[in-house]
Structure 1
Amino acid sequence: MTGVLDGKVAIVTGAASGIGRAAARLFRDEGATVIAADRSEGAGIVPLNAGSDDQVQALVEQTVADHGRIDVVFANAGVSGGMAGMFEQSAEDWQAILQTNLIGPFLLTKYAAPHMKASGGGAIVCTASVAGLRAGAGGAAYSASKAGLINFVKVAATQLAGSQVRINAICPGLIETGMTAPIYERARATGSDGRIGQLNPMRRGGEADEIAAVALFLASPASSYVNGQTIAVDGGLSASHPFSFQDYGRTSA
């Protein structure tokens, strides 16, 4: 039985947990050779500071040296920076968050895309966030970094014109990962875990596997005409402005 990524070489960052781990596992199941990278050490994980120019370049060059090509990049590594308000954050806080969340995907694209072009093309997928679409889903620096990433994907798609390298972004909603663990733990501790995800029409939080499935679609030939786009995977959260389901009239089919 063949997979949709048979024979492909894929780099996945932020692969030690959450969305990255789910995607690395799924990509392997679909036939890809996966180079899983993360700042956290673990079995099968390549150590990487995703915001380091030297380390990202070295990862890309080593991948090409070992495997001869790169076909797929999933720039997934990210940090939340917490929920401090902008008046509690310093310039250093912003720099650290932007370095990983925005400059990191830029570096991976910069260094990987020429190799992908040389081997006939490929797909780059970036993990953005619904926080990059509207306020209220993350801290100021985190939200700004993800908004910047959404725009970077659009700009990069135009600058990669003719290369057969596609680039797209995913905007997850609330997904249970290491980054969001404090939210889930607090809800469970207070007995309010049933309210997680209540603001979206699906009325639940998401799973890492659900994001990984969309990353696979964007990495595969099935999305061959999808480029420069942002796909929200959030249970419908970003489909509307905030409102009360109770005050909206009919609330169920």
Structure 2
Amino acid sequence: MARFTDKSIIVTGAGSGIGRAAAILFAAEGGRVIVADKTDGADETVALIAAAGGTAKAIRMDAGSEPDVIATVDLAVAEFGGLDILFANAGISGGMANIFDTTPELIAEVLRVNLIGPLLAIKHGAPKIAERGRGAIVLTASVAGIRSGAGSPAYSASKAGVINLAAVAAQQLSGSNVRVNALCPGLTETGMTKPTFDYAREAGKMDRVGRLNPLRRGAQAEELARAALFLASDDASYVNGQALAVDGGLSSSHPVTRQEFGKTAV
């Protein structure tokens, strides 16, 4: 299967986790990938792609910085002649503070990266994709953006915004043949969640990871990456403005241990 032969593709947050897995899969299916990340992980991802015979180029970028986003889009155009697909995946967790411990500075930073970042990706990427006649943008949201129980207030609010942004962008790109959809991961083993998974392994409690979803396990990054590739591909040619939950069934009910005001959850 080579759904992305000669396609010019940007993946942000591609230095690890879902972004790295997606960049590798895009390249394996013939895509030419700009691997964008704040860290040296971008170079490592490019090395993995090159070792497998794929084409990729790394760039350091802050997803919430407009100059960095512009530079990343410009690089795709310069290196690969245009832009066909943009996977705006970069994000931060913002920790697990509750509403009463969340500072304005914390939520501002989470929104800058998690929500303004995807908006900038659409703002500067969509016109270039439209020039090609068709293409796709995939935004990484989260089941935390669907309803409560899967993330902190700052993170959840940012991802709810991403889900709405995908719908608004799909409408505002009407007639362009540029589709915009949001991917909503459940608990997935990535750099962001590594401490949770590492603790569970060390404590012999892996059976408790993801136990609230019907599949009773967490996801691997490649499982989410494959869903992102679906949304970016012609296999999803009539999917637009949607939020796809890939969470083992968690969001079918979002069962949680509830915390009462002023009390500790038990």
Q: Which TM-score tier does this pair reach, normalised by the shorter chain?
A: over 0.9
Q: Are residue 197 (structure 1) and residue 215 (structure 2) matched?
A: no
The answer to whether residue 153 in structure 2 is matched with residue 140 in structure 1 is: yes
Look up the match of 2:232: 219
Cα drift, residue 88 of structure 1: 1.3
Distance in 2 (CA, whole Å) between partners of 1:189 and 1:67 is 44
1:174-208, CA deviations, whole angstroms, 9 ceiling, x for partnerless residues? 00010001111222233222111110000111110
2:131 counterpart (107, 110, 118): 118
Is 2:94 the counterpart of 1:81?
Answer: yes
The aligned amino acid for 1:73 is L
Query: Residue 180 of structure 2 aligns to a residue in which SS?
Result: strand
Q: Which moved more, 1:181-190 or 1:43-52?
A: 181-190
What code does the residue aligned with 1:176 have?
A: E
| Number of the residue aligned with 1:28 | 27
- Equivalents in 2 of 1:148, 1:66: separation in Å? 32
Which residue is 1:176 aligned to?
189
Normalised by the length of structure 2, the TM-score is: 0.89
1:16 to 2:46 alignment: no
Q: Which amino acid aligns with 2:29?
A: E
Tell me the distance in 2 between the aligned counterparts of 1:242 and 1:63: 42
Q: State the shift of 1:50 in Å.
A: 0.4
The structure 1 residue matched to 2:248, chosen from 235, 238, 244, is 235
SS in 2 for 1:191: coil
Counterpart for residue 37 of structure 2: 38
Offset from partner CA, 1:44-80 (integer Å, 9 cap, x none): 3310000001110111122112221100000000000
Which residue of structure 1 aligns with residue 164 of structure 2?
151
Residues of 1 paired with 2:75 and 2:30: CA distance?
20
List runs of 5+ in structure 2 lacking aligned partners: 47-57, 258-266
Per-residue deviation at 1:25? 0.2
User: How many pairs were matched up?
Assistant: 243
| Percent pairwise identity | 56
**Which residue in 2 is equivalent to 1:248?**
none
Partner residue of 2:54? none
Pick which of 43-52 and 184-193 moved more. Answer: 184-193
Distance 1:197 1:79 in 2: 20
For 2:217, what is the secondary structure of its paired residue? coil
**Structure 1 runs not aligned, ≥5 long:** 245-253
From 67, 70, 76, the counterpart of 2:80:
67
Indicate whether 1:57 and 2:56 are aligned.
Answer: no
Letter in 1 for 2:129: M
Query: What displacement does 1:243 show?
Result: 7.7
